[in-house]
């Protein structure tokens, strides 16, 4: 395909058009060994599109009735290297629109994916809430919902987000409930704030936590094992 397209050269030396004498030329074609400016070569209406955006380049080329390859000689490598294309301005505009539409389509897909993830998260939260209430039937339901939401919070790495949480491992669920009780129903946080070492504070609030959990487990014995 490139073989049939005109080749436009970015000259390394100062060159003048052999027809209209304008110069120095930024870009030119070579006809019978002589430089010709783009206007004289009837390529003056094309716009330069630097290489780099593959999709945009392909689309602009496909939409251009006339286009040209722009090359520059690399002395060190002793070869011509492609710099980009000259394409029709309207074709470039339409190509840019198409790429933009693609970007918008991708954004819409990302939004749909996020929505699906949110639904999945809600599923984890709901399963966790049900499991908490199964283990602690006398717990206030809104408290179970609160603990489940906190434990399955997105990206938190808490129990609800871990593999153990997904499998609804009883030990992990109980640990999440214990942590909540420790912070909400005991003076644990203020003990920490007053400089009591963490393990000491935990030991001190342990019995209080056990009491709360026992209360919440209350009617477990009446349920079938
Ligand atoms: Zn000219």
Q: How would residue 225 be classed by pLDDT, with cut points 50, 70 and 90?
A: very low
pLDDT by residue (tens digit) across 73-103? 988 888 889 999 999 999 999 999 999 998 8
pLDDT of residue 121: 74
33: CA distance to ligand 1 center in Å?
15
35: CA distance to ligand 1 center in Å?
8
pLDDT of residue 2: 43
Closest by CA to 122, choosing from 94, 152, 144, is 152
105: CA distance to ligand 1 center in Å?
44
pLDDT of residue 167: 55
- Give the integer Cα–Cα distance in Å for 89 and 95: 10
89: CA distance to ligand 1 center in Å?
21
pLDDT of residue 3: 47
Mean pLDDT of the region 34-53: 91
pLDDT by residue (tens digit) across 108-121? 888 888 877 777 67
pLDDT of residue 4: 65
12: CA distance to ligand 1 center in Å?
18
Query: What residues sit around ligand 1, an ion, with C-beta below 5 angstroms?
Result: 17, 19-20, 37, 40
44: CA distance to ligand 1 center in Å?
10
Q: 17 phi and psi, to 5 degrees?
A: -65, 130
Give the percent of the chain with pLDDT over 70: 88
Q: Is 23 exposed, middle or buried (0-12, 13-18, 19+ CB in 10 A)?
A: middle
pLDDT by residue (tens digit) across 161-171? 554 445 567 78
């Amino acid at each position: 395909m490139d073989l049939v397209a005109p080749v436009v050269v970015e000259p390394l030396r100062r060159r003048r058009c052999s027809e209209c004498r304008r110069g120095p030329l930024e870009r030119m074609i070579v006809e019978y060994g002589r430089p010709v400016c783009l206007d004289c070569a009837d390529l003056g209406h094309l716009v330069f599109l630097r290489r780099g955006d593959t999709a945009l380049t392909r689309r602009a080329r496909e939409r251009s009735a006339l286009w040209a390859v722009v090359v520059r000689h690399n002395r060190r490598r002793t070869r011509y290297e492609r710099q980009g294309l000259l394409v029709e301005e309207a074709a470039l505009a339409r190509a840019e629109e198409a790429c933009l539409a693609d970007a918008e389509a991708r954004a819409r897909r990302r939004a749909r994916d996020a929505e699906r993830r949110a639904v999945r998260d809600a599923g984890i939260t709901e399963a966790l809430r049900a499991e908490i209430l199964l283990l602690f039937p006398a717990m206030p339901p809104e408290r179970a919902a609160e603990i489940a939401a906190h434990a399955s919070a997105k990206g938190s790495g808490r129990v609800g987000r871990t593999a153990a949480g997904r499998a609804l491992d009883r030990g992990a669920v109980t640990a999440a409930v214990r942590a909540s009780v420790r912070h909400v129903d005991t003076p644990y946080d203020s003990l920490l704030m007053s400089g009591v070492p963490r393990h000491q504070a935990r030991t001190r609030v342990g019995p209080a936590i056990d009491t709360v959990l026992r209360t919440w487990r209350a009617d477990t014995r009446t349920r079938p094992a």
